[in-house]
Structure 1
């Protein structure tokens, strides 16, 4: 139990909660560095080798930990001191980035080193983010949790918006500079975390078991959450669809002779929409039930995807992607609040890891399937097929017994009102 939660003292306002502010600032710098290198790794591989296949391999190595390391990573986060784990991961990421920067700036590129560095950084950042998400409920009161997660989501979206232009801008000066910047950002983040004094988890008297047993416990826990299980299944489908949609739009714009800058504009506007959505998420959570948020969001995504089939103009596409990002920002905050509220403190790491694994583990399938569709039927029909699948997902969610359970699910962000909630 933190100082803000002790009965003898009134809750410390979130803006004065030193430990949360240190965590928020440190993780923000680490995320900015991570987003910068996530863009720079495949780009630098392409520039250094001239091979798109090599760039794809490096990008795959960076994302592979999301599939391979989630479950053991979640169990590790629940076993270890989360603050110390974040410090170790940040220091490791700084060393990896500095090594890649030195290699690129010296002109000595060795593909195995680049692949190993990408996999190592992906693993370290995955552990860092799992530990950070698990630590938030231990540092704030239950009443402050929605506001804290809104701030976290807004910070994450801002890092995504800024990471790509920083990475591309620095790469235009020298190929190793994005990695040097990321390494310095990681070092700066360590200074914030070192100043946090409170524990990043509550004490637990539950005995430790084998790593495999604790991983199974996380999977069993998620299976027992009826509403969450149904929602994560729907989110897994939408993540695949949006990965495919991104590829279809890039292919269409390239065929129309649009520049890479135009494609980057669409991506940036999507991030801006997500940032605004995360800031407005608390309001939607107070107005609507969880079921309404899920079903309405899926319907809105379907409506927004259909016109993409006939639009190739960067600004128009950017507006549609910004609206889609807005819905995604609301979704992420609502899901984070729900998960942090219902998962026991000693299982926060595993709960987050299982949800991320199920929700995002299949994302690589999206571009793979879409690539075949693009060759077979073209970009416009591919987008319409993806839209149809999104519509079916929305319809199934609307009639799903698990999603229906969200209509009465208690939500920590909802205000009790005398009058009926118009969204319920």
Structure 2
């Protein structure tokens, strides 16, 4: 059962296990997030190849994310998360062995990226749905802020350590790839972090383990019911559609652009990429800690706050077009992280309060689909665009597009009403 409203979430054994395992896993994930794009660039030297790898991960994630949410609602989110992370641990371990053994090539990179994307389609909605089963509703905002702070702290620590490890391990390697040893060790660190997370998940017990609430009909019917429920909730529908537009037009260019910026315009190579990602994580850490204060200030006017934040973040991203130093890029990424951290905690907490528990997996999968399923698909297009336009134009276009969309949506009554506490009705 969730903890009592007056009790700290950290007083709960199961919450501490989830938080501890997730912390180690999140730090490990940052090693792969830095190492994978660097590996592709060192194997191919092609931004288009990097975009294609990101799209290869995104396709199964996008195709199965909604199904993953339905599976979570039919089964225990803990069991689904345990299985998905076990698959990821196996795939990342294999990637580490191949890189260290000098046997890696792009065909294997694409195959492993495909498998990782499929596993994360189930992991993301499961991880989002498990928290409301561990804490009482009044504690959700604080618990989400704690998890967001942890994730951003991992982004503060992990990328810098990963960049340092890759740079220190730059000795010899496969196909003249100077960073092969460091890259292999970075993937190995992520594999070890998955093992720690699996051990903690195995010890957790939640209400859904003993009393699963299986909705009627098949999995696809459950997916349809979840989409209909979200569509019937006008503010929720408006936010999901807005997030999808932002992910498509902004997420991809940033995913491809940052590694290329570090490789071609900055002075520290992989370490510069790590510093940029660390700065973004540090900004989001501070933003998550400020989210409670921001929620009190705006009360139920969450919509205008989110749109205003995105408008400012777009201008910061556009300024990357003029960046030629690691320090300057770090300042801009820290600014966007600060703004994003404030918005994310408040939005996720609002949705968890608003949605019925039996719909949580499907609703969160729909939200994750917009943030993590669609964005990388545009990375393939962004990589191809870099053959036609310079990198500054990519950053300027992405940032100004975000600002334009955000300011244009200020006139939408549905988006401006985001923050109201209505609980959506459940469907089958």
TM-score by length of 2: 0.83
1:225 aligns with 2:233: yes
Unaligned runs of 5+ in 1: 413-424
Shift of 1:24: 1.3
**1: CA distance, partners of 2:130 / 2:361:** 9
**1: CA distance, partners of 2:261 / 2:90:** 39
Change (3 A) 1:207 1:167: same
Moved more, 188-197 or 327-336: 188-197
1:5-154 mapped onto 2 (5 Å cutoff) = 5=4, 11-47=6-42, 49-50=43-44, 52=46, 56-109=51-104, 111-154=106-149
Change (3 A) 1:381 1:189: closer
Match of 1:237 among 238, 245, 250: 245
CA contact (8 A) 1:40 1:167 kept: yes
1:3-402 mapped onto 2 (5 Å cutoff) = 4-5=3-4, 11-47=6-42, 49-50=43-44, 52=46, 56-109=51-104, 111-171=106-166, 172-173=168-169, 174=181, 175-200=183-208, 203=211, 207-239=215-247, 240-245=249-254, 247=256, 256=265, 258-260=267-269, 261-288=271-298, 289-364=301-376, 366-367=378-379, 370=382, 378-402=390-414
Shift of 1:352: 0.9
CA contact (8 A) 2:85 2:119 kept: yes
Shift of 1:209: 1.1
Unaligned runs of 5+ in 2: 170-180, 424-428
TM-score by length of 1: 0.84
Moved more, 110-119 or 366-375: 366-375
Shift of 1:225: 2.0
Shift of 1:369: 5.4
Shift of 1:139: 0.8
Shift of 1:56: 4.9
**3-state DSSP of counterpart to 1:234:** helix
CA contact (8 A) 1:202 1:345 kept: no
Change (3 A) 1:167 1:384: closer
**3-state DSSP of counterpart to 1:392:** helix
Change (3 A) 1:106 1:196: same
Change (3 A) 1:105 1:259: closer
**1: CA distance, partners of 2:53 / 2:402:** 30
**3-state DSSP of counterpart to 2:206:** coil
Shift of 1:341: 1.1
Aligned residues: CA RMSD: 3.0
Shift of 1:290: 1.1
Moved more, 373-382 or 190-199: 373-382
**3-state DSSP of counterpart to 2:217:** coil
Deviations 1:293-322 (A, max 9, x none): 223212322443454444433322321221
Change (3 A) 1:146 1:410: same
CA contact (8 A) 1:83 1:199 kept: no
1:410 aligns with 2:421: yes
Shift of 1:136: 0.5
Aligned to 2:175: none
**3-state DSSP of counterpart to 1:396:** helix
CA contact (8 A) 2:350 2:421 kept: no
Change (3 A) 1:399 1:238: same
Deviations 1:161-218 (A, max 9, x none): 3333343444443242222222211111122223323335794656431111111112
Shift of 1:19: 1.3
Change (3 A) 1:378 1:91: closer
Shift of 1:3: 5.4
Change (3 A) 1:138 1:392: same
| Number of residue pairs the alignment of both structures matches | 405
